[in-house]
Structure 1
């Protein structure tokens, strides 16, 4: 994956014209937009408050430049499939033009696990991260049409050693988040898991594919935390061999 970490953008981040156009076409041209996230590929997420800056956020709008290789269409499709099976945003609209894609979803009543509040309460955050991932991994996969397995991912790996490495045996196939970094979990005001977001890679894989990246992302987002809180909340002990393999695979992907 790209080395530049995602994070909150500058408050004066320009609003892409294709995003403005999409919102106008959806009757939200006068809504207040606040940039809340920029991913490592250059994609942007804006909070959308139709009533103005002092009013509630009703929607989130994601803009993705077409040059990233990412797909908001893939995410919208997976969100539609996941509806009713696991907490995630509800799709409102999707559009694209020559510059990029725009995905509009309903807002949920919670904050990212890496918001200022939860960074200062890492034990609560790690517990919610573990509970949320375990809940996702318990979704039935017999009818899931999406895959995030090693075979597909190795095609995008840039490190020969990873491509040629023998993957560890599968522990348990589950529905994986596919981008399981801590920011992609929402926590409700009481400190409980609320939902997962950024699900363009949602698919069936060994659970350690998610566990490896989620646990690795803790050090990027928290200080003075006890990683064991996460493992206890999920309900498993770390498997160092599987963690090492899936972290190497993640870091080797384009």
Structure 2
């Protein structure tokens, strides 16, 4: 049974006790792999407890949200349940619009500035305090497992890699692995839908199940690509300028875009 097995949200009894009765709306934005529903005040994510099919479990997201709380803006965890092979994660709903919304994209200069500032603040968190290791040894081992299990969606590869196999992508990753990593605390899936914009601020980082210590380019590559797709190449380059060109290695941007194909 998967999160898509039903279009209506059926909550486990423990979550029904802590969440008020509400009209739940299905959300179809994003590629987290989970089914997502929202009410006026809360969000519930549901997915099968399958560590290979999805890049991260909702239990991992819960752990990261609890650690990030008070450090950067994230939703508050309301509850977590595992029932009949499905994970349920209940969160507070962050007010605002995701950064891929047309109303947000209408102000490209403001958005680019907000994203650069949000990632600089996240990447400045003390490494010694972060308990989650998402560095290349971990990420590549995870990618190898997913390739071997045949769960990588090759049809979803970027245009320049259409027609390639997951095995060929992994082999390229192994062959071109960077000699060192510029480690920071990363979001892990820093695409536009995972930033919630409220007025002049980013009020929430969401879908943080892959957050942890990794090369800063793991975030920069995805935000840069997402801006290029949703706005323009000039906006994507402007984001790198505002973040700080002294931190940017074009080869590693390309490497982490390649790595993302397997997740």
Q: Same fold (TM over 0.5)?
A: yes
Over 3 Å counting, the alpha-carbon distance change for 1:120 and 1:152 in structure 2 is same
Check the 8 A contact 2:49/2:87 in 1, yes or no. yes
2:202 is matched with 193
- The alpha-carbon deviation at position 41 of structure 1 amounts to 5.9
For the pair 1:63 / 2:72, whether they are aligned, the reply is no
Structure 2 gap ranges (5+): 1-5, 148-168
Over 3 Å counting, the alpha-carbon distance change for 1:141 and 1:134 in structure 2 is same
Bigger shift: 224-233 or 71-80?
Answer: 224-233
- The alpha-carbon deviation at position 93 of structure 1 amounts to 0.6
TM-score, structure 1 normalization: 0.81
Match of 1:91 among 65, 73, 77: 77
Over 3 Å counting, the alpha-carbon distance change for 1:22 and 1:119 in structure 2 is farther
2:153 is matched with none
- Say which SS state the counterpart of residue 32 (structure 1) adopts: coil
Deviations 1:189-222, CA, capped at 9 Å, x for gaps: 23x2222111111110111111112111223333
2:151 is matched with none
- The alpha-carbon deviation at position 229 of structure 1 amounts to 2.5
Check the 8 A contact 2:15/2:79 in 1, yes or no. no
- The alpha-carbon deviation at position 35 of structure 1 amounts to 1.9
For the pair 1:236 / 2:249, whether they are aligned, the reply is no
When the two chains are superposed, the root-mean-square deviation of aligned CA atoms in Å is 2.3
Check the 8 A contact 2:227/2:235 in 1, yes or no. no
Bigger shift: 199-208 or 124-133?
Answer: 124-133
Over 3 Å counting, the alpha-carbon distance change for 1:75 and 1:241 in structure 2 is same
Higher share of residues assigned helix: 2
- The alpha-carbon deviation at position 99 of structure 1 amounts to 4.2
Over 3 Å counting, the alpha-carbon distance change for 1:212 and 1:27 in structure 2 is closer
- Say which SS state the counterpart of residue 112 (structure 2) adopts: helix
Over 3 Å counting, the alpha-carbon distance change for 1:180 and 1:169 in structure 2 is same
TM-score, structure 2 normalization: 0.78
1:81 is matched with 67
- The alpha-carbon deviation at position 240 of structure 1 amounts to 1.3
Bigger shift: 192-201 or 173-182?
Answer: 192-201
